[in-house]
Amino acid sequence: MSSTIPVFRGKNPLLPGAEFLRDPFRFSIGRAREVGDFFRIPFIPKNLPAGRQVYFTTNIEVIKHVLQGNQKNYVKSVAYRYLKMALGNGLVTSEGEHWRRNRRLIQPAFYKTQLEGLYNVMAGIAERYSQGLLKKIGEGAVVEITEELMSVTADIALKTLFSADNPADISEMYRIMVEAQEYIVQRTVKPYLTPLAFVNGRHRRFRRDMDWFDGHIFNLINERRKNPQPVNDLLSMLLHARYEDTGEPMDDRQVRDEAVTLFAAGHETSSNALAWTLYLLAQHPEILKKLRKEVDETLGGKTPAFSDLRKLGYTMQVIQEGMRLYPPAFAIGREPLADDEILGVKIPKGSVMFLSICGLHRDPKYWERPDEFYPSHFLPENEKKRPKMAYAPFGAGPRMCIGNHFALMEMQLLLATLVCRVDLELATSEQVAPQPLITLKPKNGIKLRLRPRKVFPPV
Ligand code: HEM
Q: Over the stretch 209-224, which tens digit does the pLDDT of each residue have?
A: 999 999 999 998 998 8
Contact 78, 376 (CB under 8 A): no
For atom 11 of ligand 1, which residue has the closest CA? 401
Q: Over the stretch 216-252, which tens digit does the pLDDT of each residue have?
A: 999 989 988 888 787 889 999 999 999 988 999 999 9
- The CA-based diameter of the chain, rounded to the nearest angstrom, is 69
For atom 27 of ligand 1, which residue has the closest CA? 266
For atom 40 of ligand 1, which residue has the closest CA? 399
How far is the centre of ligand 1, averaged over its atoms, from the C-alpha of 133 (Å)? 28
Give the pLDDT of residue 102. Answer: 96
Give the pLDDT of residue 48. Answer: 55
Contact 280, 322 (CB under 8 A): yes
> How large is the average pLDDT for residues 328-352?
93
pTM for the model: 0.93
How far is the centre of ligand 1, averaged over its atoms, from the C-alpha of 406 (Å)? 10
Give the pLDDT of residue 44. Answer: 59
CA–CA distance, 427 with 276 (Å, rounded to integer): 14
How far is the centre of ligand 1, averaged over its atoms, from the C-alpha of 355 (Å)? 15
How far is the centre of ligand 1, averaged over its atoms, from the C-alpha of 230 (Å)? 26
Q: 233, 401, 410, 415: which to mutate for ligand 1, most atoms within 8 A of CB?
A: 401
CB atoms within 10 A of CB 406: 25
Domain 1-76+330-371, second-level architecture: 2-Layer Sandwich (3.30)
Q: Over the stretch 159-174, which tens digit does the pLDDT of each residue have?
A: 999 887 777 777 888 8
How far is the centre of ligand 1, averaged over its atoms, from the C-alpha of 265 (Å)? 6
Contact 185, 219 (CB under 8 A): no
Confidence category of residue 326, pLDDT binned at 50, 70, 90? very high
How far is the centre of ligand 1, averaged over its atoms, from the C-alpha of 261 (Å)? 10
For atom 39 of ligand 1, which residue has the closest CA? 399
51: Cα separation from own chain's centroid = 31
* pLDDT beyond 70 at 455: no
Confidence category of residue 10, pLDDT binned at 50, 70, 90? confident
Q: Over the stretch 430-442, which tens digit does the pLDDT of each residue have?
A: 788 888 777 888 8
> How large is the average pLDDT for residues 166-194?
81
How far is the centre of ligand 1, averaged over its atoms, from the C-alpha of 387 (Å)? 21
CA–CA distance, 149 with 143 (Å, rounded to integer): 10
CA–CA distance, 78 with 144 (Å, rounded to integer): 32
Extents of the domains making up the chain:
1-76+330-371, 77-329+393-452
Provide residues with CB under 6 Å of ligand 1.
76, 91-92, 103, 261-262, 265-266, 269-270, 273, 328-329, 332, 393-395, 399, 401-403, 406-407
How far is the centre of ligand 1, averaged over its atoms, from the C-alpha of 100 (Å)? 15
Give the pLDDT of residue 288. Answer: 97
Q: What is the CA radius of gyration of the chain?
A: 22
For atom 13 of ligand 1, which residue has the closest CA? 395
- Which atom from ligand 1 is nearest to the alpha carbon of 258? 35
- Check whether domain 77-329+393-452 has CATH 3.40.50.300, yes or no: no
- H or E element in which residue 275 lies: helix 252-283
CA–CA distance, 211 with 205 (Å, rounded to integer): 10
- Which atom from ligand 1 is nearest to the alpha carbon of 261? 35
- H or E element in which residue 331 lies: strand 331-336
Q: Over the stretch 51-86, which tens digit does the pLDDT of each residue have?
A: 568 999 999 999 999 999 999 999 997 777 788 888
How far is the centre of ligand 1, averaged over its atoms, from the C-alpha of 401 (Å)? 4
- Which atom from ligand 1 is nearest to the alpha carbon of 272? 1
Contact 20, 360 (CB under 8 A): no
Q: DSSP state, 428?
A: -
Sign of torsion, CA 32 38 44 48?
positive
CA–CA distance, 197 with 185 (Å, rounded to integer): 13
